[in-house]
Structure 1
Amino acid sequence: MKAAIIGYGRMGHEIERVLSERGHETALIIDAANASELDAAHLAGIDVALEFTTPATAYANLRTCIEAGTAVVSGTTGWTDRLAELEALCRQRNGALFYASNYCLGVNLLFRLNRQLAAMIGRVGGYDLTIGEVHHVHKQDAPSGTAITLAEGILAEMPGKTGWVDYAPGVGQAANRVEDPAEAGEERIVIRSVREGEVPGIHTVTYESEDDRLELRHTIKNRRALALGAVVAAEFLCGKRGVYTMDDLLRIS
């Protein structure tokens, strides 16, 4: 497989290592210094591009790949209010797009457990709910895409919840930011975002009643877990057409 890496930060470097380990060729690397080279000419002959950049650049990067006819895997978060546009473009152009907010297998299992637990708690009642996420100081968006996916899973299973808000003192900007968790009320889920050190990612869903506490928690030990999942997704996408997610890769209906 001939791959392009779009975004050559920590994740891009890890993806390059995993590609090499699995016998693939990194034929093109695009970063801020040569961003102008992300075009149809440079993408010619590329089987799959792996895009892990920033919320400000992801949409344009993915659109360029789709318009060039290059299959693309993306894990950039913080921009997905426009994802539906690219999915529609991909189908229109008979292209190939794979998007996930998190490529770690354990996290994707967490997503499914999270929905099942939310449905059960919704039937039982009597529990308050919060989501916590901790990431390294270099992560630009808050809350994380993984935390938002967890919140969306809960919203789909608990009719009493109508949305989510982010509580993240001193961390970036978010449209749903609150200064005090009490502002959320009972109908909205509070996501508490923290940025510290070099933490790859910790996500916790906590249900608490007057009598007990129940938690789902996932900790990523290193970026390799994410890079490996992204490369496996690229292998899955190679030669295909259409829009795919981790549900397709894991064959979960």
Structure 2
Amino acid sequence: MRILLIGYGKMGKTIEQTALAKGHTIVGKISHQNAETLQNYTSAITDAAIEFTHPEAAFVNISYCLEAGIPVVSGSTGWLDKYNEAEKLCQAHSGAFFYASNYSVGVNLFFHFNEYIASRMQAYKEYQTGIREIHHLQKVDKPSGTGITTAEGILAHYPNLDGWIADNPEEKTKLNIASEREPDVVGTHIVTYSSEVDQIELAHIAHSRTGFAEGAVMAAEWIQNRKGVFGMKDMLNL
């Protein structure tokens, strides 16, 4: 498979290593540090694009791929106010768009278990729930996309909570997401249910970026010959 990498930071480099190890070809590596532009790539020479960039660039990159007929796998976060536009664009061009806030198989199992636990815990009002996410210092968006997806899984079962809020544990009507940034942290997400007598935690701790890269390459493989908008639940049948 011929893969175009849009974004060539730490994540892009790890994806490159994973893709090459699986026998794929990297046809291009686009980052703010080189002079290459997306317009150099078409569906004739690219089987899939894997896009991990900054919030302000993601939608432009995704739009180009969909308009050019290039299946696109995106893991960029912080741009989801335009997600519905991306869906419509995908449908208008009969394209293929795969999005996940996190491509780790382990994280997506964490999402699955998180929703199940929330569906059971909501009956026990003595427990207060919250989310804590920890990432490396270069992480731009706060809270993380994975933290927001985790919150959405809880909120689906907590109609008494009015959405999520960032770093404000005193606001009891919303689900708090506490964000921390530390050196050399790949990604940690912890859901806590706390009462006066005990505490329950569900956690996912990433030891490397390899799991994310493997999931992204798997998504690029899976999306071939498919049309529509997809996510990890579709691929993993969760």
Scaled to the shorter chain, the TM-score interval is over 0.9
Matched, 1:181 2:159: no
Alpha-carbon spacing, 1:35–1:160, altered in 2? closer, same or farther (3 Å): farther
After superposition, the C-alpha distances for 1:22-72 in whole angstroms (9 at most, x for unaligned) are: 000001111113466112x42342000000000010010000110111000
Matched, 1:200 2:186: yes
1:225 is matched by which residue type in structure 2?
A: G
| Counterpart secondary structure, 1:57 | helix
In the TM superposition, 1:111-130 aligns within 5 A as 111-130=111-130
The alignment-based identity, stated in percent, is: 45
**Structure 2 unmatched ranges of 5 or more:** none
After superposition, the C-alpha distances for 1:170-195 in whole angstroms (9 at most, x for unaligned) are: xxxxxxxxxx531x2x2201100001
Matched, 1:93 2:79: no
- Shift in Å, 1:123: 1.6
In 1, Cα distance between equivalents of 2:35 and 2:232 = 28
In 1, Cα distance between equivalents of 2:166 and 2:98 = 27
Matched, 1:209 2:195: yes
Partner of residue 24, structure 1: 24
Partner of residue 158, structure 2: 158
Partner of residue 232, structure 1: 218
In 2, Cα distance between equivalents of 1:8 and 1:74 = 13
1:240 is matched by which residue type in structure 2?
A: R
After superposition, the C-alpha distances for 1:117-138 in whole angstroms (9 at most, x for unaligned) are: 1111112221111100000001
Partner of residue 8, structure 1: 8
Partner of residue 61, structure 1: 61
In 2, Cα distance between equivalents of 1:35 and 1:123 = 56
In 2, Cα distance between equivalents of 1:198 and 1:53 = 19
- Shift in Å, 1:98: 0.1
1:244 is matched by which residue type in structure 2?
A: F
1:65 is matched by which residue type in structure 2?
A: C
In 2, Cα distance between equivalents of 1:191 and 1:108 = 18
After superposition, the C-alpha distances for 1:127-168 in whole angstroms (9 at most, x for unaligned) are: 11110000000111010000000111111111111111111x
| Counterpart secondary structure, 1:106 | helix
2:21 is matched by which residue type in structure 1?
A: E
State the 4+ residue runs in structure 1 displaced beyond 6 angstroms: none
Q: How many residues align?
A: 237
- Shift in Å, 1:239: 2.0
Partner of residue 42, structure 1: 41
In 2, Cα distance between equivalents of 1:149 and 1:115 = 10
- Root-mean-square deviation (CA, aligned residues, Å) is 1.1
TM-score by length of 1: 0.91
In 1, Cα distance between equivalents of 2:110 and 2:99 = 17
In 2, Cα distance between equivalents of 1:34 and 1:73 = 21
TM-score by length of 2: 0.97
- Shift in Å, 1:206: 0.2
After superposition, the C-alpha distances for 1:193-235 in whole angstroms (9 at most, x for unaligned) are: 0011010000000000111100000000001110011000100
